[in-house]
A and B are shown apart, each in its own frame.
Chain A
Amino acid sequence: MEYYKHFDIVPHDFDLAGAMSSEVKRTLKRFGFGFDFIKRVSVAAYEAEINIVIHSFGGYADFRIQNNRCYLQFIDIGPGIPDIPLAMTPGYSTASEESQLNGFGAGMGLINIQKSADEMSLISDPNGTVLKLKFFITEDSYHAGS
């Protein structure tokens, strides 16, 4: 099974936020994956997508299924995460008041992503952030409770 799709992510557009991750979920469902695998991938996709909407100057995502792996890559054009370990601290958030009124800013986004993915790589500087996620596809990925 092979699949690839590219998504542009518009900054600060809360109405469009979730469009990419919704499509990721629909695609995984169409391919017959189980609920838990779909949940892990789509929760990570949603949190990463929202991070770009809330914090970045704009960016994009690539979703790929290849060689029994599911890959998600998120790239934005800044302003970057100054202190990644601090950003990974549960409850720490720099989300604006507008974001908080929209239900974001729990300081759980990166934690949810890390818990969901089998592998995670996060690189950031003021020019932008690159987040790469990998999910292993096994027989269990197709079972409801996997």
Chain B
Amino acid sequence: MLVHDILTNDYRLLTELSTANHPYEGVYASDLLSVVLRSASQNAVLITIIANLNTIAVAMLMDLPAIIFSENQVVTQAMIEKANLENIALISTSLKTHEVILDLKARNCL
């Protein structure tokens, strides 16, 4: 599966188009970054409401190709620039975290 496969009208890619070309394997959802560091698998897509530069740093440390920010969290230009630099896709959605998981499951994107 490619990050690009996640994108629909409900999901807005905030970073450069090329960041969506990466493969991913499953998703991991948490709003506590230490828990992400402990439990997320390499190449998983992170779903979270924690939107700051540290979320990008954690994704970079864990080799996560994409972050889905649920509930329309505000994503700053500094975050987008850092994610482009690290080749991490940032995706924004109005859906809640559990709705994202259900939606991805329904579309065979898990």
Contact = CB atoms under 8 A, between A and B. Distances in A.
Given A18-B58, A22-B60, A39-B61, A103 B52 contact: yes
Interface string B8-45: 00000000000000000000000111110110001000
A115 B38 CA distance: 9
Interface string B41-65: 0100000101011111110111100
Contacts of A39: 42, 61-62
A11 interface: no
A21 B42 contact: no
Interface stretch (A40-48, A72-80, A121-129, A132-140): A40-48
B60 A103 contact: no
A112 to B, nearest CB: 6
A103 B37 contact: no
Contacts, number: 73
For chain A, what secondary structure do more than half of its interface residues adopt (helix, strand, loop), or is it mixed? helix
B106 interface: no
B57 A17 contact: yes
- Most chain A CB within 10 A, of B60, B61, B62, is at B61
Interface of A: 14-15, 17-19, 21-22, 25, 35, 39, 42-43, 46-47, 50, 102-109, 112, 115
